[in-house]
Amino acid sequence: TQLLEQSPQFLSIQEGENLTVYCNSSSVFSSLQWYRQEPGEGPVLLVTVVTGGEVKKLKRLTFQFGDARKDSSLHITAAQPGDTGLYLCAGQGGTSYDKVIFGPGTSLSVIP
Amino acid sequence: GAGVSQTPSNKVTEKGKYVELRCDPISGHTALYWYRQSLGQGPEFLIYFQGTGAADDSGLPNDRFFAVRPEGSVSTLKIQRTERGDSAVYLCASSRQVNTEAFFGQGTRLTVV
């Protein structure tokens, strides 16, 4: 069974601070995705990383896929209250075949 | 439609009753996924369809859960003899094909009392 772990589980920071959240697995995935979910809504895809070592930037968000394609990180620079939400990593491929397996999420709260 | 639509948005049912949850995917999307999300947790995979057939139903927790997609578009998740532990948000997602971006609906919040 492929499992994804995320840390930290909860994070509360002041506006303007930087933060990093981590996603780890003992299994290899073909791709790894990051989603953001707000209360009462479904997850919304932020980015997909495919190549080991890949780095993608989306405005103030930087995503990195580990060289071995087992882990990933999400770094947010100068966090804003609008960044508040549940950040989910999800793996696809490998032994999970086509289905997308989600981690437990990191709940981020950015305080004005 | 513009996005994935799930109905009802909220469902309260009594323990032991039967419920059906509906998902209308984005038009033209061949892959459809069902997930279950409990409070404070990530979505848990239940089943996914490629066209009309269930390509992977390994996440269905037991035989009380069943899903269909008879015409390759709308899907219905069916739960028999509901239990309080079935209470969760049931999410549906669709993608143009497998391994492409999946778009999620807002979910159906099921409460079994």
pLDDT tens-place string over residues A54-109: 999 999 999 999 998 889 999 999 999 999 999 999 988 766 567 788 999 999 99
Distance CA B97, CA A29 (A): 18
Q: Report the mean per-residue pLDDT for chain A.
A: 91
- The reply to whether residue B101 touches residue A48, judged by beta carbons under 8 angstroms, is yes
pLDDT in tens, A34-48: 999 998 899 999 999
Q: Give the mutation candidate from B104, B106, B108 for the A interface (greatest A CB count, under 10 A).
A: B104
Q: Measure CA B104 to chain center.
A: 10
pLDDT value, residue A2 = 60
Which domains are delineated in chain A?
Answer: 4-105 (2.60.40.10)
Looking at 1.10.3720.10, 3.40.50.720, 2.60.40.10, 3.10.310.30, the CATH number of the domain B5-112 comes to 2.60.40.10
pLDDT value, residue A81 = 96
pLDDT value, residue B26 = 96
pLDDT value, residue B8 = 97
How confident is chain B (113 residues) per 10-residue block, as mean pLDDT?
90 98 96 94 94 92 96 97 97 87 94 98
Residue A46 tokens, joined: 């932020």
pLDDT value, residue A95 = 60
**Where residue A22 falls among pLDDT bands split at 50, 70, 90?**
very high
Of A73, A79, A85, A68, which is closest to residue A21 (Cα–Cα)?
A73
Torsion on CA atoms B5, B10, B12, B18, rounded to nearest 10 = 0
Q: Give the mutation candidate from B4, B95, B97, B99 for the A interface (greatest A CB count, under 10 A).
A: B99
For the range B53-56, what are the long-range contacts, defined as Cβ-Cβ under 8 Å and sequence gap of 24 or more? B55/A98, B55/B98, B56/A97, B56/A98, B56/A99
Could you tell me the residue ranges of all domains in chain B? 5-112
Distance CA B105, CA A44 (A): 10
Distance CA B70, CA A64 (A): 40
Longest dimension (CA), chain B: 38
Residue B89 tokens, joined: 């948000």
Of B48, B71, B45, which is closest to residue B59 (Cα–Cα)?
B45
Say if residue A1's pLDDT is above 60: no
CB contacts, 8 Å: A41 with chain B: 106-107
- The one-letter amino acid at A43: P
